[in-house]
Structure 1
């Protein structure tokens, strides 16, 4: 458990949690982002940015996978690490958690190996989104960033991962949070101008 700078309460950094960039996070790679955590261990953490679609259609880069991905059928900028690689986040069909090439990380949500023949995937995956690159943190780095107030840590929903309202995702996620955190959904970029 990591102390949250805003509330002082302990937060659980685990797969399925969302990191919402706070206004104090000025790194251009993460300003106004929503990051889905996919793996958190003592050695570090890995996630993907959910609200940065690119204009590049998946079909142009990964051929037939373009027919399988969720709308919009484009690659998403998953983060600044390994941007020449792709991570496929999928929602397994009920009973498909043990399908070839699928590794569950949070309930039925998991990572799909894109080297798996597409024929083996059809019917085992309900939803799919592909990310170019990922966000990564070394041991203790994410915990330190949360403690200093760079991230709000909140529970995620499957619809956050696959929704088509990526432009409004950060605001939508903040709005559904309890207490004072919901007020940040309408916070101006510079409160001093209010």
Structure 2
């Protein structure tokens, strides 16, 4: 598959009606003929990693929220990391960013990474499903900037990336959730 979106961001278009994905930014981790998998980057939960996945508490700062990675397998935990040594990743998504291996030693993982973020669940598409959604223009595709993958202000990421993209996308970024109240 030559047109894989692996490593790219998908930004939900305003036309996307699925409440699981309204105004989301998804990092595509895998995209091939079998389907696609990604993580919603801009949905921090109200619970912390310590509360939700205490076994991972030593990997992140105190009070770091767990992020809602998507509606698929919401009880599964995925750790996205920027690695000092990319070969240490269980799966690389792009450059030096990928997933911590399930077999990773947490004590050494903190030293082998620059940034870590813990997600509950992921986004998933069956064969051809994401391609159909792209044809319907449900998603806007954009390559990420490195700082966007671990944004300090995740809830503003959708608008920030659209604004960076410019033109009509910058206008979309400023649209209210319900345009009828404008």
Structure 1 residue 81 corresponds to structure 2 residue 69: no
Structure 2: runs of 5 or more not aligned? none
Q: Which residue of 2 aligns with 1:45?
A: 36
Tell me how many residue pairs correspond in the alignment: 182
Q: Which residue of 2 aligns with 1:189?
A: 177
Structure 1: runs of 5 or more not aligned? 3-11
Q: 2:158 aligns with which of 140, 145, 170?
A: 170
Q: Distance in 1 between matches of 2:128 and 2:21?
A: 18
Contact 1:86–1:133 (Cα < 8 Å) also in 2: yes
Q: Deviations over 1:108-138 (max 9, x none)?
A: 0001024422123132111011110000001
Deviation, 1:149, is 1.4
- Look up the SS of the partner of 1:143 in the other structure: helix
Contact 1:13–1:153 (Cα < 8 Å) also in 2: no
Give the alignment's TM-score, normalised by structure 1: 0.85
Structure 1 residue 117 corresponds to structure 2 residue 105: yes
Q: Distance in 2 between matches of 1:71 and 1:40?
A: 34
Q: Deviations over 1:61-87 (max 9, x none)?
A: 333532322686111111010011011
Q: 1:126 aligns with which of 96, 114, 119?
A: 114
Contact 2:59–2:109 (Cα < 8 Å) also in 1: no
